[in-house]
Chain A
Amino acid sequence: MQNETRETKKMEIASEAQGTSDKGSYWASNIRLVKWCLVIWALCSFGFGIILRPLLSGIEIGGADLGFWFAQQGSILVFLALIFFYAWRMNALDREHGVDEE
């Protein structure tokens, strides 16, 4: 709970700078964010992990290549980063657009 109050303050400053806008632009920014996150999601798993693996075969990692690492561990780490980034960015967007829960 303490964390949240601290964050609320930070976001309030952000929302003053941005001003509040309508729901349409809130949804549009959300969709933009989701699209970019999903591009990275697909690139690291289906891309580096499977289809683009031959392109990365030159980069060695502990007895295998970078593609093998992405398929077995790297993609999972990227997924984690993506979810936390999205949660942080969206919770900030909620406040900038004044649609967060009071």
Chain B
Amino acid sequence: MDQYILNLIFVGATFALYIGIAIWARAGSTSEFYAAGRGVHPVTNGMATAADWMSAASFISMAGLIAFTGYDNSSFLMGWTGGYVLLALLLAPYLRKFGKFTVPEFIGDRFYSPTARMVAVLCLIVASVTYVIGQMTGVGVAFSRFLEVDNSTGLFIGAAVVFAYAVFGGMKGVTYTQVAQYCVLITAYTIPAIFISLQLTGNPIPGLGLFSEYSPGGEASGLYLLEKLDLVVADLGFASYTEHHANTLNMVLFTLSLMIGTAGLPHVIIRFFTVPKVADARWSAGWALVFIALLYLTAPAVGAMARMNIIDTIYNNGVSEEPIEYAARPDWMKNWEVTGLLKFEDKNGDGRIQFYNDKSEAFAAQAAERGWAGSELSVNRDILVLANPEIARLPGWVIALVAAGGLAAALSTAAGLLLAISSSVSHDLFKGQLTPNISEKGELMTARVSMAVAIAVATYLGLNPPGFAAQTVALAFGLAAASIFPALMMGIFSTRINNKGAVAGMTVGLLVTLVYIFLHKGWFFIPGTNTFTDADPLLLSIKSTSFGAVGAMLNFATAYFVSHATEDTPDEIKELVESVRVPRGAGAAAADH
């Protein structure tokens, strides 16, 4: 069957499944619709959280970034899982005990200040919009490939689908839809990985295959996969896969930013507000990480094996021989050329695809000797996971399954973020502050308009994104890390931090981080307006993606000094903090209406 039709069937079937479940669950229990998660077992809640959490960045983009860089991009793996430790130990149980529905509500109450609540709303919007830009990048890649159109058209179609999906809305609240989305995306990620791991190492578990012997087609090579990969990439002038090349300070700060950001992102935190008990909030974080780890333990294997397969495809007679002819290129290259995300330029005019590191000075002599005039293939990192089953020549249904999985990951998170943005604009900003007497209809209208504005902005910026999907998302994490996490943590672990300290801390954290990012990525992410580049950053070796950790430290320090220079917190706030620290007496979560 034609691949295009097969893709349509798989994507269509999974969408029908989500909508079917949403309708079934809605009909079953309308009253529980808004209280998704309450009365739901921690394991189920964990699975739904994992679906909410793993977006285009984790599914489509991350393994590609690891594949082309190797060890240095391990930060994504540690950062996006390590944050759950912070979440489970420092935030989740206490926010559950507090028993409100949104993050700005907690910050507004704990710091007894509507201003603090407004600043929190602002932080939330800035971080979420940046996050959506990254999602749109991923959505564009997925749609362009699966509808066989160029990347910009794919992005516009994707934006329309995301908008419809988010407005259809309530669907997001149904935990079981998310459970289905999780099942689709994890199957879609794992099945091709198992096939490829079997092909390359004979080990059916990709995570173990990564550390197994390289034995393509069952022939033992006497080398481990990683050893073989290091040799092959070195022969093409690339930096070795397993060694540490990146700046250590930057790598530590980047990992830390992703971790703190994970614990500061509102759409994840919200899930812990609604579990039945404080004890369950602790278990839920663990279960969420179990389901996330299933993908994250596989991702490094997907990356390494895809890198191996790409080089093997291009140099089908080994890297010391000449690469394949352009005319004889495999179908997956033709397919991805349509999207414009994979490009070939015959620089030395020999009709063959030379793919090597033309930035390496040490390799330049060898390249010249072989008659190579520059690397002729450019591969967008974000296509790797989606192209992976095609590269490994897996059956058509696996390719279609991966397309469905990528869309599930991108759409669920994008829709969730849009809902988070719209509810904070309509509920926290308009109803809570600007126009308290707004009618329910007006509130809904505001929500829709803000959603449309957010997606328009994200689509426009997604056309020229500040980086690959996972890198843009990393910026969003930096912003959340610098603004929201410190305020939440100090709100729970200190009784001394007062309203002025919290507002000053959040403002400094957000502004300094935002300015640092804009200086490197362009003002409001508009290309060409940047003063510095991440290759040569303003401060030491700290790239804009890593600055969130510095912003968080500034936030903590500012809040500490301002609070100690101003009056103590009132007694009732001290009592509130004391009560949040103790699980006993936690009622059901209640919205502040």
Q: Which chain A residues have a beta carbon within 8 Å of chain B's beta carbons?
A: 23, 26-27, 30, 34, 37-38, 41, 45-46, 49-51, 53, 61-65, 68-69, 71-73, 75-77, 79-80, 82-84, 86-87, 90-91, 94, 98-102
Min CB–CB distance B224 → chain A (angstroms):
3
Given contacts A45-B255, A80-B286, A80-B290, whether A38 and B89 have CB atoms under 8 Å apart is: yes
B400 at the A/B interface (Cβ < 8 Å)?
Answer: no
B583 at the A/B interface (Cβ < 8 Å)?
Answer: yes
B582 & A99 in contact (Cβ 8 Å cutoff) = yes
Min CB–CB distance A48 → chain B (angstroms):
10
Min CB–CB distance A4 → chain B (angstroms):
8
B583 & A101 in contact (Cβ 8 Å cutoff) = yes
Residues of the B chain whose Cβ atoms lie less than 8 Å from the Cβ of A76: 77-78, 81, 293, 296-297
How many B residues have CB within 8 A of the partner chain? 50
B311 at the A/B interface (Cβ < 8 Å)?
Answer: no
Nearest-neighbor residue (CB-CB) of B71 within chain A? A68
Residues of the B chain whose Cβ atoms lie less than 8 Å from the Cβ of A30: 581
Given contacts A76-B297, A84-B286, whether A37 and B255 have CB atoms under 8 Å apart is: no
User: Within residues 42 to 82 of chain B, which ones have a CB less than 8 A from any CB in chain A?
Assistant: 71, 74, 77-78, 81-82
Nearest-neighbor residue (CB-CB) of A93 within chain B? B583
B77 & A23 in contact (Cβ 8 Å cutoff) = no
Residues of the A chain whose Cβ atoms lie less than 8 Å from the Cβ of B199: none
B490 at the A/B interface (Cβ < 8 Å)?
Answer: no
| Neighbour of B242 across the interface among A26, A34, A68, A82, CB < 8 A | A68
A79 & B255 in contact (Cβ 8 Å cutoff) = no
Residues of the B chain whose Cβ atoms lie less than 8 Å from the Cβ of A26: 582
Given contacts A72-B210, A79-B289, A83-B88, whether A100 and B81 have CB atoms under 8 Å apart is: no
Count of inter-chain pairs, beta carbons less than 8 A: 137
Nearest-neighbor residue (CB-CB) of B297 within chain A? A73
Report the separation of the CA atoms of residues A90 and B293 in the bound assembly, to the nearest whole angstrom.
23
Min CB–CB distance B444 → chain A (angstroms):
35
Residues of the A chain whose Cβ atoms lie less than 8 Å from the Cβ of B352: none
B283 & A100 in contact (Cβ 8 Å cutoff) = no
Nearest-neighbor residue (CB-CB) of B93 within chain A? A90
B211 & A64 in contact (Cβ 8 Å cutoff) = yes
Report the separation of the CA atoms of residues A49 and B93 in the bound assembly, to the nearest whole angstrom.
28
A46 & B255 in contact (Cβ 8 Å cutoff) = yes
Residues of the B chain whose Cβ atoms lie less than 8 Å from the Cβ of A61: 211
Instruction: State the main secondary structure of chain B at its contact with A.
Output: helix
B252 & A37 in contact (Cβ 8 Å cutoff) = no
Report the separation of the CA atoms of residues A50 and B253 in the bound assembly, to the nearest whole angstrom.
11
A91 & B223 in contact (Cβ 8 Å cutoff) = no
A99 & B283 in contact (Cβ 8 Å cutoff) = no
8 closest A-B pairs by beta carbon, nearest first, are A63-B224, A62-B211, A63-B226, A87-B282, A71-B74, A83-B286, A72-B300, A63-B227
Report the separation of the CA atoms of residues A94 and B583 in the bound assembly, to the nearest whole angstrom.
7
Given contacts A68-B71, A80-B289, A100-B584, whether A75 and B82 have CB atoms under 8 Å apart is: yes
B256 at the A/B interface (Cβ < 8 Å)?
Answer: yes
B22 at the A/B interface (Cβ < 8 Å)?
Answer: no
Nearest-neighbor residue (CB-CB) of B83 within chain A? A79
Nearest-neighbor residue (CB-CB) of B300 within chain A? A72
B554 at the A/B interface (Cβ < 8 Å)?
Answer: no
B252 & A83 in contact (Cβ 8 Å cutoff) = no
Min CB–CB distance A2 → chain B (angstroms):
11
Given contacts A23-B578, A50-B248, whether A87 and B88 have CB atoms under 8 Å apart is: yes
A83 & B285 in contact (Cβ 8 Å cutoff) = yes
Q: List 30 A-B contacts (CB under 8 A).
A: A37-B89, A38-B85, A45-B78, A45-B82, A45-B259, A46-B256, A49-B255, A50-B244, A50-B251, A50-B252, A50-B255, A51-B248, A63-B211, A64-B224, A64-B226, A72-B210, A75-B81, A76-B81, A79-B81, A79-B289, A82-B85, A83-B88, A87-B88, A87-B283, A90-B93, A91-B279, A94-B278, A94-B583, A101-B278, A102-B584
Nearest-neighbor residue (CB-CB) of B41 within chain A? A1
Not counting A41-B82, A100-B279, a sample of 10 additional A-B residue pairs whose C-beta atoms are within 8 angstroms of each other reads A50-B74, A61-B211, A68-B226, A69-B211, A72-B77, A83-B84, A87-B282, A87-B285, A90-B282, A91-B282
Residues of the A chain whose Cβ atoms lie less than 8 Å from the Cβ of B286: 80, 83-84, 87
Nearest-neighbor residue (CB-CB) of B211 within chain A? A62
Report the separation of the CA atoms of residues A30 and B278 in the bound assembly, to the nearest whole angstrom.
14
Nearest-neighbor residue (CB-CB) of A7 within chain B? B279
B90 at the A/B interface (Cβ < 8 Å)?
Answer: yes
Nearest-neighbor residue (CB-CB) of B281 within chain A? A87
Residues of the A chain whose Cβ atoms lie less than 8 Å from the Cβ of B267: none
Nearest-neighbor residue (CB-CB) of A37 within chain B? B89
A34 & B82 in contact (Cβ 8 Å cutoff) = no
Min CB–CB distance B50 → chain A (angstroms):
13
B187 at the A/B interface (Cβ < 8 Å)?
Answer: no
Given contacts A63-B224, A76-B297, A94-B583, whether A41 and B85 have CB atoms under 8 Å apart is: yes
Residues of the B chain whose Cβ atoms lie less than 8 Å from the Cβ of A86: 88-89, 282
- Per-position binary interface string of chain B over residues 378-401, scored 1 when its CB falls under 8 Å from any chain A CB and 0 otherwise: 000000000000000000000000
Residues of the B chain whose Cβ atoms lie less than 8 Å from the Cβ of A82: 85, 89
B277 at the A/B interface (Cβ < 8 Å)?
Answer: yes
Given contacts A46-B256, A83-B289, A101-B586, whether A71 and B279 have CB atoms under 8 Å apart is: no
Min CB–CB distance B47 → chain A (angstroms):
15
Report the separation of the CA atoms of residues A60 and B286 in the bound assembly, to the nearest whole angstrom.
30
| Neighbour of A34 across the interface among B90, B297, B578, CB < 8 A | B90
Pick from B71, B90, B283 the residue with the most CB of A within 10 Å: B71
Report the separation of the CA atoms of residues A30 and B74 in the bound assembly, to the nearest whole angstrom.
31
Min CB–CB distance B275 → chain A (angstroms):
12
Residues of the A chain whose Cβ atoms lie less than 8 Å from the Cβ of B226: 62-64, 68
Min CB–CB distance A34 → chain B (angstroms):
5
B584 & A99 in contact (Cβ 8 Å cutoff) = yes
Report the separation of the CA atoms of residues A75 and B81 in the bound assembly, to the nearest whole angstrom.
9
Min CB–CB distance A99 → chain B (angstroms):
5
B212 at the A/B interface (Cβ < 8 Å)?
Answer: yes
User: Within residues 197 to 223 of chain B, which ones have a CB less than 8 A from any CB in chain A?
Assistant: 207, 210-212, 223
